[in-house]
Amino acid sequence: MDFIPDDHDDLTIPYFEDASSSLGIVGHSTNRSERELKVEIERAMGHLGASVTLFQAGKFADRFGYRIEFLWGGSKGRIDVAALPIRKETEGRISQAKRHALYSVMNRLESQFNSQLVMPGDVPLVPYMMDNKGRTMIEAMREEGRLPALPSPSPDIVEGDWREGED
């Protein structure tokens, strides 16, 4: 018997000002600092066997965010993170929206680590690995309609131990 999925509406991105736990949005009012969240992301990536090499703040069109670059298995990867859009930009709202975005990534990475415990063979970072053209696997699949091959690990990349609390 073939599975026929139900149609679903396109994802609607709410404005940061409208975010609430009643919409299922967690972490929008986090009190953790940007630095604390980055350390927690680095820790979560370490649990997945990866190491963060860069947090680059910036913008994606009208949304603030980050580009997180990492190494996993001798290959490069990238996670692009866009905060919820903000209707009326103030320093406080921008900071809170960016921290919410980091909180969401941290939460997802921690969940992905835990999913490996109950889903044998789960490899959560593969969608974010980069091909020879600098595209993530997700970007390449959208462009080409197929999964591209990962490049061979670079001989210039040296893997090391991840240690908590070091800058």
32 assigned to some structural domain = yes
- The bridge status of strand 50-60 relative to strand 75-82 is unpaired
- The bridge status of strand 75-82 relative to strand 63-72 is antiparallel
Q: What is the DSSP code string of 67-124?
A: EEEEEETTEEEEEEEEPPP-SS--HHHHHHHHHHHHHHHHHHHHHHHHHHHHSTT--T
pLDDT band at 162 (very low <50, low <70, confident <90, very high): low
Mean pLDDT of 89-105: 96
Q: Residue 127 belongs to what H/E stretch?
A: none
148 assigned to some structural domain = no
146 assigned to some structural domain = no
Domain with residue 65: its CATH number is 3.30.160
68 assigned to some structural domain = yes
Q: What is the pLDDT of residue 132?
A: 87
Asked whether 82 and 68 are in contact (CB, 8 A), the reply is no
Domain containing residue 30: 16-122
49 assigned to some structural domain = yes
Total tally of structural domains belonging to the chain = 1
Q: Each residue of 4-16: pLDDT tens digit?
A: 656 556 678 888 8
Q: Taking the model in full, what pTM does it have?
A: 0.80
d(CA 31, CA 99): 9
